[in-house]
Structure 1
């Protein structure tokens, strides 16, 4: 596809908001780095973010919002979060908070967890786009996975041109490093250092942060081998399911459930968490779910990573 470079004008903002409303992807500037934005409520838009970045795992994505009133629709603000929001929002701080059951976010955004990562960006163009779009935007860094994060529009074009609809040009990013990420669904813990210093955060909270590498807490969600696992047993790369087994197909064939009858990996990624839940409900706690083979290419790597975690032995 042609990737358009949009100017930071009312017309450019209106076009960017329209693209996002139609399920498209727009790279937007923030004060940290450019983010690859898509509607956080749309499974397909979020799956397209993973596809554009060629991201090998479905890790939680940061949801960008315009103000605290919007945060209350998606997450539960803890006492510590309230203090940090007063000190650092809008700004380069991401808080992982309890997810509201009625939030309506794609499970691909939260990676199936009951928490959500929230940030209020300070960049005026990002804030203007969030107001124009009037919804939550999932926005990881706007670069191919494993590459250097982009701090200018030309960096985004160099890495993602042809994979996304547009880049909203907001000039150079002021901070240039990603946001600090804190887990606040329990004792405050640092998940990623970034644009707000640990010392500044600890001064506001009055307590030290747990740091990455603490044995009681993984560095980030999704690092455990068995994670997001359904109650039923999971078997992978199955071409002939056992009698009574709930079968999830891919790319045609006889299957009651299918990640994608057309064999489309973006569609399969968009359906993954919903299908896992539906298959688990059909199989029951004592049953078994069999997944047809999924190609280990493109988004297939991320899908298979999540399925391997679901199938890992657990106590």
Structure 2
């Protein structure tokens, strides 16, 4: 039977129970600065599959990884670039997920993630303390695929029930707005999902993320140049954990 812990009044017991669950390969629900997330041991293929099964989600939508410290990037990605460090310094902890090239020896079976991995440091003191105890967690929004992301522990319980062993209640979660996703896995940085952090804020740190210039008209009498299409989920690499368009964003 699932257990619920109030992190405000029983933080130590909550962390102990969550660590035990994660070590056993079970799923937990945890608060973040965006929405509630369902988490599992990122280093355990069995645990990650349990997370995907709990959400009724396929391996084509692998979850991102939450870490406690920027320094942990070095264990996950092939190269820690100046762009990564600039964004991390400006926005971590916070609502920014970055997609990076995974370390060639990284043993994390998160699904069909290709050669990349999505990473975030959440702006939530308790959750970072938990991550220091558990190590990196694969974390997705706490909802069944196609349903709204949970912003309260009761929402998460209604959707996930006994599929989760431990629920960590931190009150209403964040503002319910997802993290912004930036792809740093290729030569040119790109915004894959516009979330809480806006393009102008990002461009102040990485000018390459400034708004693209509109294409000039082809000529007099021709059709107007098309506006650039907005960033959509179909543009995202496999490593970015997104449900179907009607589903809620990830934590």
TM-score normalized by structure 1?
Answer: 0.65
SS at match of 2:119: strand
SS at match of 1:207: helix
Q: What is the correspondence of 1:288-299 to structure 2 with a 5 Å cutoff?
A: none
Change (3 A) 1:218 1:157: closer
Q: What is the correspondence of 1:262-277 to structure 2 with a 5 Å cutoff?
A: none
Note if contact 1:30-1:121 (Cα within 8 Å) is conserved in structure 2.
yes
Confirm or deny that 1:47 pairs with 2:41: no
| Structure 1 position 214, deviation (Å) | 7.4
User: Root-mean-square deviation (CA), in Å?
Assistant: 2.1
Residue 76 of structure 2: aligned partner: 74
- Partners of 1:102 and 1:137 in 2: CA distance: 18
Residue 190 of structure 2: aligned partner: 189
SS at match of 1:149: coil
Residue 92 of structure 1: aligned partner: 95
Residue 203 of structure 2: aligned partner: 202
Q: Which protein shows a greater Rg?
A: 1
- Partners of 1:197 and 1:151 in 2: CA distance: 22
- Partners of 1:57 and 1:104 in 2: CA distance: 16
Structure 1 unmatched ranges of 5 or more: 224-315
- Partners of 2:153 and 2:173 in 1: CA distance: 9
Residue 221 of structure 1: aligned partner: 237
| Structure 1 position 198, deviation (Å) | 1.4
Per-residue CA distance 1:273-298 (angstroms, 9 max, x = gap): xxxxxxxxxxxxxxxxxxxxxxxxxx
Note if contact 1:62-1:116 (Cα within 8 Å) is conserved in structure 2.
yes
- Partners of 1:99 and 1:30 in 2: CA distance: 24
Note if contact 2:183-2:190 (Cα within 8 Å) is conserved in structure 1.
yes
Note if contact 1:189-1:209 (Cα within 8 Å) is conserved in structure 2.
no
- Partners of 2:57 and 2:113 in 1: CA distance: 17
Structure 2 unmatched ranges of 5 or more: 213-227, 240-251
Note if contact 1:190-1:209 (Cα within 8 Å) is conserved in structure 2.
no
Change (3 A) 1:213 1:44: farther
Deviates more, 1:91-100 or 1:49-58: 49-58
| Structure 1 position 213, deviation (Å) | 4.2
| Structure 1 position 163, deviation (Å) | 1.3
Confirm or deny that 1:103 pairs with 2:87: no
Bigger relative contact order, structure 1 or 2, given CA contacts below 8 A and separation 6+? 2
SS at match of 1:161: helix
Residue 24 of structure 1: aligned partner: 26
Change (3 A) 1:99 1:222: closer
Change (3 A) 1:68 1:222: closer
Residue 4 of structure 2: aligned partner: 5
Per-residue CA distance 1:208-260 (angstroms, 9 max, x = gap): 35889479x9511249xxxxxxxxxxxxxxxxxxxxxxxxxxxxxxxxxxxxx
Confirm or deny that 1:152 pairs with 2:155: no
Note if contact 2:200-2:210 (Cα within 8 Å) is conserved in structure 1.
no
Note if contact 1:33-1:176 (Cα within 8 Å) is conserved in structure 2.
yes
Change (3 A) 1:159 1:98: same
| Structure 1 position 107, deviation (Å) | 4.4
| Structure 1 position 194, deviation (Å) | 1.0
Residue 122 of structure 1: aligned partner: 123
| Structure 1 position 65, deviation (Å) | 0.3
Confirm or deny that 1:178 pairs with 2:178: yes
- Partners of 2:15 and 2:26 in 1: CA distance: 14
TM-score normalized by structure 2?
Answer: 0.81
